[in-house]
């Protein structure tokens, strides 16, 4: 059976799979259409990325003492569940508007209160989306602060839309806001502001 770890890590997870709901597929198709004039771009997503940015991060910020037998097997948290069970999402960015839209379906393993998503899972997808918004603008950043107002519970396995926007840059500080709405736009589930700091090349993470 063909089952190399190389193949697993190279799969682009931001493409439709059989677990995706009709809503998620429809929205995905709408955003793929917006990509045709290049104003929007779909962001590919892997369990393990080996982009230049990741290499730069390892070279400049990661102390070699953190690279041990276990950490070499590290993979992106949001892509660590079987298809459909955890975070199913696709992100689209608009460079000119400094925005990211994340189409998200939170699966059954992300349950908190019965029937609804866990707040930590919601925070995770917000962190991933706002973090990517800051990262596209500023390079290697880390989350310093996330302030989330949870306004309505998100039904488990439903599809929702995250809208993230870079609001302001002050030196190494990137201020990002993000809201989550239902697909029909009628329900506002959460509002967030976040602060991301571009890492200082003279400081290694300890
Ligand atoms: C990391 C990405 C790497 C590679 C990416 C490659 C590919 C992408 C693949 C996937 C992307 C997935 C995206 C997922 C995004 C998830 C991001 C995270 O969850 S990161 C994990 C959680 N965050 C942390 O663990 C950070 C812990 N904190 C720190 O390490 C440090 O505090 C810091 C944030 C690095 C900042 O430390 P520095 O020493 O660099 O800066 P400071 O001199 O302390 O501060 C600079 C400036 O900012 C102000 N400030 C700092 N923190 C806060 C805060 N919490 N609230 C308000 N202001 C803050 C500080 O006062 C300074 O301001 P100034 O004096 O006006 O300059």
User: Are the C-beta atoms of residues 10 and 37 closer than 8 Å to each other?
Assistant: no
Is pTM beyond 0.90? Reply is yes
Element (H, E) at 8: helix 5-10
Residue 156, domain member (yes or no): yes
Q: What is the pLDDT of residues 113-133, one digit of tens each?
A: 999 999 999 999 999 999 999
Number of domains the chain contains: 1
User: Are the C-beta atoms of residues 146 and 127 closer than 8 Å to each other?
Assistant: yes
Ligand 1 center–CA 53 separation, angstroms: 16
CA 5 – CA 78 distance, rounded (Å)? 18
Which phi and psi angles does 120 have, rounded to 5°? -65, -35
Residue 95, domain member (yes or no): yes
Q: What is the pLDDT of residues 67-109, one digit of tens each?
A: 787 777 889 999 999 999 999 999 999 999 999 999 999 999 9
Domain residue limits at 25: 16-43+86-198
CA 95 – CA 41 distance, rounded (Å)? 8
Q: What is the pLDDT of residues 20-31, one digit of tens each?
A: 999 999 999 999
Question: Which CATH number belongs to the domain containing residue 124 in this structure?
Answer: 3.10.129.10
Q: Which residues line ligand 1 (CB under 6 A)?
A: 49, 51, 53-54, 57, 76, 127-128, 131-132, 140, 142-145, 171-173, 195, 197, 199-200, 203
CA 183 – CA 30 distance, rounded (Å)? 12
Complex prediction ipTM? 0.95
């Amino acid at each position: 059976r063909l089952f190399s770890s190389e193949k697993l890590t190279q799969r682009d997870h931001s493409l439709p799979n059989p677990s995706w709901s009709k809503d998620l597929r429809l929205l995905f198709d709408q955003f793929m259409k917006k990509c045709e004039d290049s104003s929007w771009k779909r962001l590919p997503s892997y369990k393990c990325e080996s982009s230049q940015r990741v290499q730069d991060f390892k070279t400049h910020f990661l102390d070699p003492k953190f690279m041990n037998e276990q950490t070499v097997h590290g993979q992106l948290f949001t892509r660590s569940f079987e298809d459909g069970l955890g975070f199913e999402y696709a992100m689209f960015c608009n460079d000119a508007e400094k925005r990211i839209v994340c189409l998200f379906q939170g699966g059954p393993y992300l349950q908190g209160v019965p029937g609804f998503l866990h707040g930590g899972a919601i925070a995770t997808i917000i962190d991933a989306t706002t973090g990517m918004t800051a990262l596209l603008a500023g390079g290697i950043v880390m989350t310093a602060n996330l302030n989330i107002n949870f306004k309505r519970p998100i039904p488990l396995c439903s599809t929702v839309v995250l809208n993230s926007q870079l609001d302001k840059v002050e030196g190494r500080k990137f201020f990002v806001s993000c809201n989550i709405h239902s697909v029909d736009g009628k329900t506002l589930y959460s509002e967030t502001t976040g602060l991301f700091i571009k890492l200082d090349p003279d400081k290694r993470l300890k």
